[in-house]
Amino acid sequence: MSNNKVADEINRRRTFAIISHPDAGKTTLTEKFLLYGGAINQAGSVKGKATSKHAVSDWMEIEKQRGISVTSSVLQFNYEDCCINILDTPGHQDFSEDTYRTLMAADSAVMVIDASKGVEAQTKKLFKVCTMRHIPIFTFINKMDRDAMDTFDLLSDIEGNLGIETCPMNWPLGSGKNFKGIYDRQEDRIVTFADTMKGTKEGTETFISLDDQKMIDQYVGTEAFETLKSEIELLDGAGAQFDIDAVRAGKLTPVFFGSALQNFGVEIFLHHFLQMATPPVGRMSGEDIIDPVDHNFTAFVFKIQANMNKAHRDRVAFMRICSGRYDANMEVKHVQSGRVMRLSQPQQLMADERKILSEAYAGDIMGVFDPGMFSIGDTVCMPKDDVKYEGIPTFAPEHFARVRQVDTMKRKQFVKGITQIAQEGAIQIFQEYNMGLEEIIVGVVGVLQFDVLKFRLDTEYNVEIYLDMLPYEYIRWVDTPDVDMAKLVGTSDMKKIKDMNDRPLLLFVNEWSVGMTVERNKGLVLSEFRKN
Q: Which domains does the chain carry? A: 3-73+92-98+108-276 (3.40.50.300), 283-381 (2.40.30.10), 399-527 (3.30.70.3280)
- Beta strand 73-79 with 365-369 is unpaired
Query: Is 86 within 8 Å of 74 (Cβ atoms)?
Result: yes
pLDDT of 273 reads: 94
Q: Residue 168's CB: how many other CB atoms inside 10 A?
A: 26
Query: What global pTM score does this model have?
Result: 0.78
Report yes or no: 291 and 323 within 8 Å, Cβ to Cβ. Answer: yes
Residue 452 is predicted with a pLDDT of 81
**β-bridge mates for residue 298, sequence order:** 323, 381
Strands 252-257 and 283-285 turn out to be: unpaired
Neighbours of 274 (CB within 10 A): 16
Percentage of the chain with pLDDT > 90?
42
Q: pLDDT below 70 — which residues of the chain?
A: 1-2, 39-73, 90-97, 122, 125, 195-203, 307-313, 349-354, 393-395, 435-438, 530-532
Instruction: Quote the pLDDT of residue 96.
Output: 57
Q: What is residue 186's predicted lDDT score, i.e. its pLDDT? A: 87
Task: Look at residue 102 in the predicted model and tell me its pLDDT.
Answer: 81
Q: Is 2 helix (H, G, I), strand (E, B) or coil?
A: coil
pLDDT at 301: 92
- pLDDT one-digit tens code per residue, 387-422: 999 877 666 788 899 998 888 888 888 988 888 888
Residue-wise pLDDT for 288-343, tens only, equals 999 999 999 999 998 887 765 555 557 788 899 999 999 988 999 999 999 999 99
